[in-house]
Amino acid sequence: MDSVVYDTADAYDADARDDRRGTGAASVARPRALATEAVHAGREELAALGLHAAPIDLSTTYPSYDSRGEAARIDAFAAEGAEPEGPPVYGRLGNPTVARFETALARLEGTESAVAFASGMAALSAVLLVRNAMGLRHVVAVRPLYGCSDHLLTAGLLGSEVTWVDPAGIADALRPDTGLVMVESPANPTLAELDLRAVAHACGSVPLLADNTFATPVLQRPVEQGARLVLHSATKYLGGHGDVMAGVVACDEEFARGLRQVRFATGGVLHPLAGYLLLRGLSTLPVRVRAASSNAAELARRLADDPRVARVHYPRIGGAMIAFEVHGDPHDVIAGVRLITPAVSLGSVDSLIQHPASISHRIVPTEDRHDAGVSDRLLRLSVGLEDVDDLWSDLDGALGFTSGG
Task: Tell me which of 18, 32, 143, 211 is the catalytic residue.
Answer: 211
The count of C-alpha atoms lying within 13 angstroms of the C-alpha of 265, restricted to the half-sphere facing its C-beta, is 15
Phi, psi of 393 (to 5 degrees): -60, -40
Report the DSSP beta bridge partners of residue 381. Answer: 322, 353
**Contact indicator for 284, 240 with CB cutoff of 8 Å:** yes
User: Would you list the DSSP string of 313-350?
Assistant: EE-TT--SEEEEEESS-HHHHHHH-SSSEE-S---SSS
Task: Tell me which of 7, 62, 92, 316 is the catalytic residue.
Answer: 92
Phi, psi of 340 (to 5 degrees): -70, 135
Phi, psi of 243 (to 5 degrees): -130, 15
Task: Tell me which of 6, 12, 146, 237 is the catalytic residue.
Answer: 146
Task: For residues 30 and 40, give the distance between their C-alpha atoms in angstroms, rounded to a whole number.
Answer: 15
Task: For residues 269 and 256, give the distance between their C-alpha atoms in angstroms, rounded to a whole number.
Answer: 14
Which segments of 212-350 are extended strands (E)?
229-233, 247-251, 309-314, 321-326, 341-342
The answer to whether residue 92 is catalytic is: yes
Task: Tell me which of 236, 263, 288, 311 is the catalytic residue.
Answer: 236
**Contact indicator for 322, 313 with CB cutoff of 8 Å:** yes
**Contact indicator for 285, 213 with CB cutoff of 8 Å:** no
**Whole-Å CA distances, 24 to 33, 120, 354, 362:** 10, 25, 37, 40
The answer to whether residue 236 is catalytic is: yes
Cβ neighbors of 155 (< 8 A, separation 6 or more) are none
**Residues taking part in catalysis:** 92, 146, 211, 236
